[in-house]
A = this chain, B = another copy of it.
């Protein structure tokens, strides 16, 4: 079966995945030379850096999700298809998808990364990942369901399991979730649940390495940990989780933490696709690509962002799996595709590190620019401006801003809803 894609006399570029990298590429690509087919399993682009605010009832999903079809209104060279890709037939230039086969002239794999449970099936079964809006909503629903369960609990032990929250992974996501939950425990939950004693609620952040925000400088790590402790988060470094049965987290040292809520943000693996020679699949689900993002050994197939691994002297393990490398690679690849069409030389990719940042709570953030590090209120303000600027759409930007202001002034949004839905 063939998918319905209109014929065109231009070369067809098929982009799989509309995350930061795929979207940037689709936006920048030359419509003079190419027809673009964007394939994604969702009909919207997701703004990953703010998933944690959806999970903690600070933002609505629609504020950080943007329908692809709306982004590309009035672009006649562009076609969106809601589908998943199962396999690539490299020689035949065909991808096999859930809506049929699609022929391509150029294929770009920008499928991003998903949660890595490192093969532990028990953890995978009971822990909650947060790599999509849908997963963030599941976390939100679970958090508030557990509190309702705690109200009804008949034993102290059961109550403890329902109230405690354990977050595994001290990267930006883990730190941001832990901090936000701790603030919610201080300001909001005691009002919502006057019958409960929130001094008994533990929020625990577990990190395998000696530091939280391990990719940042000592200064930022120390400050972030200080902020977390100030908010009452229990931070355990050098701590590995070996098991979780839905009621107790088991640590490597065999001690156990009772909780029915385990949020897993301890690692990612690339969403690679089958069909290539074995040698291009690197550990962590990433594709080995050259300096033009071309998958090694192929002629017209590229990978970018989290699923690509471009090894270089400066980045022997590839670039960090974050938004910036993906966006910059998307931009560069758009230029290079045009150069291919015009028979010009290609431009090798060079990553420009714009810095990194994480927020822990109100007035508490750490920011590292290439030549300047700072923390506290100013960092927090910068974090907000940078994220607001990155959000697509005036309306969404305004809504997020409005939510933040409201939240800052009142300490109290009204998004604490447990909305589940049945599928027909």
Binding site for B on A (CB under 8 A): 1, 3-4, 6, 42-44, 60-62, 65-67, 69-70, 73-74, 76, 79, 81-83, 99-100, 126, 128, 133-135, 137-138, 141-142, 144-145, 148, 151-154, 191-195, 393, 395-396, 399, 406, 412-424
Decide: A414 and B138 in contact? CB cutoff 8 A: no
Decide: B99 and A152 in contact? CB cutoff 8 A: yes
CB distance from A367 to the nearest CB of B (A): 29
In the complex the two chains form, what is the Cα distance from A152 to B37 in whole Å?
13
CB distance from A161 to the nearest CB of B (A): 15
Decide: A1 and B154 in contact? CB cutoff 8 A: yes
Query: Who on chain B is nearest to A395 by CB?
Result: B406
Decide: A61 and B393 in contact? CB cutoff 8 A: no
In the complex the two chains form, what is the Cα distance from A416 to B71 in whole Å?
12
Decide: A43 and B138 in contact? CB cutoff 8 A: no
In the complex the two chains form, what is the Cα distance from A152 to B44 in whole Å?
18
Decide: B393 and A6 in contact? CB cutoff 8 A: no
CB distance from A54 to the nearest CB of B (A): 10
Q: Contacts A137-B421, A406-B395: A195 and B416 contacting too (C-beta < 8 A)? A: no
25 contacts between A and B (CB under 8 A): A4-B154, A6-B195, A42-B418, A42-B419, A43-B148, A43-B417, A43-B418, A44-B417, A44-B418, A44-B419, A60-B62, A61-B419, A67-B416, A69-B416, A81-B152, A82-B148, A99-B152, A134-B421, A137-B421, A138-B421, A141-B421, A395-B406, A395-B414, A420-B421, A421-B421
Decide: A414 and B67 in contact? CB cutoff 8 A: yes
Which of A413, A416, A424 lies at the interface centre, i.e. has the most chain B CB atoms within 10 A of its CB?
A424
Query: Who on chain B is nearest to A148 by CB?
Result: B82
Please list the 5 inter-chain residue pairs (A to B) with the smallest Cβ-Cβ separation, ordered nearest first: A69-B192, A82-B148, A134-B421, A99-B152, A67-B416
In the complex the two chains form, what is the Cα distance from A82 to B418 in whole Å?
10
Q: A395 — which chain B residues lie within 8 A by C-beta?
A: 406, 413-414
In the complex the two chains form, what is the Cα distance from A42 to B81 in whole Å?
35
Q: A42 — which chain B residues lie within 8 A by C-beta?
A: 417-419
Which of A74, A142, A396, A423 lies at the interface centre, i.e. has the most chain B CB atoms within 10 A of its CB?
A423
Q: A424 — which chain B residues lie within 8 A by C-beta?
A: 126, 128, 138, 142
Q: A137 — which chain B residues lie within 8 A by C-beta?
A: 419, 421
Query: Who on chain B is nearest to A98 by CB?
Result: B152
Starting from the known contacts A4-B152, A67-B416, 7 additional A-B residue pairs (CB-CB under 8 Å) come to A43-B416, A43-B417, A61-B417, A135-B422, A137-B421, A141-B421, A420-B421
CB distance from A22 to the nearest CB of B (A): 18
Q: A413 — which chain B residues lie within 8 A by C-beta?
A: 395
In the complex the two chains form, what is the Cα distance from A195 to B148 in whole Å?
48
Q: A416 — which chain B residues lie within 8 A by C-beta?
A: 43, 67, 69-70
Decide: A195 and B66 in contact? CB cutoff 8 A: no
CB distance from A423 to the nearest CB of B (A): 6
Decide: B406 and A134 in contact? CB cutoff 8 A: no
Decide: B133 and A419 in contact? CB cutoff 8 A: yes
Q: A194 — which chain B residues lie within 8 A by C-beta?
A: 74, 76
Query: Who on chain B is nearest to A1 by CB?
Result: B154
CB distance from A159 to the nearest CB of B (A): 10
